Copies of this chain bind each other. A is one copy, B any other.
Amino acid sequence: MTTEQLYAHILSKQSFLCVGLDTDIAKIPAHLLHETDPVFAFNKAIIDATADLCVAYKPNLAFYESMGVRGWGAFEKTIRYIKDNYPDQFIIADAKRGDIGNTSEMYARTFFDELDIDAVTVAPYMGEDSVRPFLRPGKWVILLALTSNKGSRDFQLIEDKEGTPLFERVLSVSQQWATEEQMMYVVGATQGRMFEDVRKLAPRHFLLVPGIGAQGGSLTDVCKYGMHDRCGLLVNSSRAILYADSSERFSEAAREAAAAVQQEMQKELAKRVKS
């Protein structure tokens, strides 16, 4: 999917919501546990309930791997279900991978060749040759820059001799590897005004923003400091949507939660984005 296609989807849906499919079998409604594949049944219901309100889905690999072979089956079925039924959705494998070249190449093969996913999240610590194998025509690397968690301060904010924090170095160095048509950055919603620093270095890139909802980030602040005139944001919500309700009406509740976010997003788009 190209940048222009993403811009168009955001405008037509008036949403830049990404629904994070962090599906935890311990948290899904009890009545689904009788299904052959409860995790897939849950995902299918969530997807059907939210697809017109969001532009992207982001399954988090950890939640599927924790269930071994069954989990991988549910992950693959989920990807296929989205591609078959909602082909305009941007699919992100939240994997945070990154390894020596031949290993990163294997991960790229999994996500891009086998599953035809649009984007993979990648950790920058191992540098250029750990990221390059993920750069494929029509596919996206979403590189961790400034994450949403408390530990983001441990290393990402360390300043070098010129006073440049590590995450800024990641933003600038990685732009030598890929254009803004191939790379996005993860910037946590909890980072507030730091979005201004990110935008100085990456004014046009798409940013994938986790951390609203359960993690406490503010959508208003993210838009105020991070949105550009064609949006340039994909804001993720996982738990607040998936687990809005644990009864048989979980998917309606998920839809209501997603709709509430979408309505806020529509207002932000009206304020800041030229249509």
Residues of chain A whose beta carbon lies under 8 Å from any beta carbon of chain B = 22, 24, 60, 62-63, 65-66, 68-69, 71-73, 76, 94, 96-104, 106-107, 109-110, 114-115, 123-131, 144, 147-156, 158-161, 163, 166, 169-170, 173, 210, 215
Closest CB in chain B relative to A228 CB, distance in Å:
26
Residue pair A100, B63 in contact (C-beta under 8 Å): no
Give the residue name and chain of the B residue nearest to A132 (CB). B151
Report which of B62, B126, B156, B170 forms a contact with A152, defined as CB distance below 8 A. B126
Residue pair A99, B62 in contact (C-beta under 8 Å): yes
Contacts of A128 in B (CB 8 A): 150-151, 154
Q: How many copies of this chain sit in the oligomeric assembly?
A: 2
Contacts of A210 in B (CB 8 A): 100
Residue pair B155, A169 in contact (C-beta under 8 Å): yes
Contacts of A99 in B (CB 8 A): 60, 62, 94, 96
Contacts of A155 in B (CB 8 A): 124-125, 127, 166, 169-170, 173
Give the residue name and chain of the B residue nearest to A106 (CB). B62
Q: How far is the CA of A152 from the CA of B68 in the complex (A)?
A: 31
Q: How far is the CA of A238 from the CA of B72 in the complex (A)?
A: 25
Residue pair B151, A68 in contact (C-beta under 8 Å): no
Report which of B96, B104, B158, B161 forms a contact with A97, defined as CB distance below 8 A. B96
